[in-house]
């Protein structure tokens, strides 16, 4: 519950409800994240294989391209971990909201 000070210094109570998407949408989001991970890994492996196969490229150029791919892989993995961490936080918030709502119902009864 938040408090706001009125014009005359009186305290006015304001209740703010936060609604989190249902569990099906969270599961859908998690599944989509896993699919993106698998797709990215497959594409990365395919790109790496293409670079290795290309005999026309100089060795230094191959190493540069492989290094770029690794850096890109690392950046993608970091972004995926950040998304996963956010999903976990949302789940915890949802659990707290459910418990809070149950406590509110019990308190009102």
Q: Classify residue 2 by its DSSP letter.
A: E
Measured distance CA(71)–CA(23) in Å, rounded: 34
User: What is residue 55's predicted lDDT score, i.e. its pLDDT?
Assistant: 62
Number of domains in the chain: 1
User: What is residue 19's predicted lDDT score, i.e. its pLDDT?
Assistant: 54
Task: Give the 3-state DSSP-derived string for 80-97, with helices as H, strands as E and coil as C.
Answer: HHHHHHHHHHHHHHHHHH
User: Which tokens belong to 65?
Assistant: 């391209």
Low-confidence ranges of the chain (pLDDT < 50): 1-8, 13-14, 18
Q: What's the domain range around 73?
A: 2-94
User: What is residue 6's predicted lDDT score, i.e. its pLDDT?
Assistant: 44
41 in a domain, yes or no?
yes
User: What is residue 71's predicted lDDT score, i.e. its pLDDT?
Assistant: 93
Backbone angles phi, psi at 10, to 5 degrees: -70, 150
103 in a domain, yes or no?
no
> What pLDDT digit, counting tens, does each position of 62-78 carry?
788 889 999 998 998 99
Could you write out the DSSP letters of every residue in 29-71? HHHHHHHHHHHHHHHHHHHHHHHHH-TTS-HHHHHHHHHHHHH
101 in a domain, yes or no?
no
């Amino acid at each position: 519950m938040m408090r706001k000070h009125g014009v005359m210094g009186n305290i006015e109570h304001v209740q703010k409800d936060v609604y989190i998407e249902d569990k099906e949408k969270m599961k859908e989001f998690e599944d989509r994240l896993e699919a993106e991970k698998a797709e990215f890994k497959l594409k990365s492996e395919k790109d790496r294989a293409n670079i290795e196969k290309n005999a026309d490229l100089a060795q230094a150029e191959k190493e540069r391209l492989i290094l770029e791919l690794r850096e890109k892989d690392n950046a993608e993995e970091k972004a995926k971990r950040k998304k996963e961490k956010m999903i976990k936080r949302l789940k915890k918030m949802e659990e707290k909201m459910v418990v809070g709502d149950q406590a509110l119902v019990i308190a009102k009864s």
